[in-house]
Amino acid sequence: MEERGDACTECMQGLRYIVSPFCMVCGKQLDDDTQEVCSDCGNKRHEFIRGVAAFSYTKEIKQSMYRFKYEGQREYAYFYADMLYGLRGKIMAGWKPDVLVPVPLHKKRYRKRGYNQAALIAHRLGALLDIPVDEQLIQRAKNTLPQKALGDKERAKNIKNAFHVTPDIVKYKRILLVDDIYTTGATLDACAKALNGRNKVDIYFASVCVGRGF
pLDDT tens digit sequence for 27-69:
999 999 899 999 999 998 999 999 999 999 998 899 999 999 9
pLDDT at position 4, please? 47
Q: Determine which helix (DSSP H) or strand (DSSP E) holds 174, and give its type and residue range.
A: strand 174-182
> Do the strands 174-182 and 50-56 form a parallel or antiparallel pair, or are they unpaired?
unpaired
| Mean pLDDT computed over every residue of the chain | 87
Q: What does pTM read for this prediction?
A: 0.88
* Three-class DSSP category at 160: coil
The residues near 134 (Cβ < 8 Å, ≥ 6 apart) are 99, 100, 101, 168
Query: In terms of CATH architecture, what is 9-210?
Result: 3-Layer(aba) Sandwich (3.40)
Strand-pairing partners, residue 194, are none
Residue 6's pLDDT band, with cuts at 50, 70 and 90, is low
Average pLDDT on 16-27 reads 96
> Which segment of 126-130, 152-156, 157-161 scores lowest on mean pLDDT?
152-156
* Percent over 90 (pLDDT), the chain: 66
Residue 161's pLDDT band, with cuts at 50, 70 and 90, is confident
- Rounded Cα distance between 167 and 152, Å, is 31
- Structural contact between residues 29 and 61, judged by C-beta atoms closer than 8 angstroms: no
Q: Where are the domains of the chain?
A: 9-210
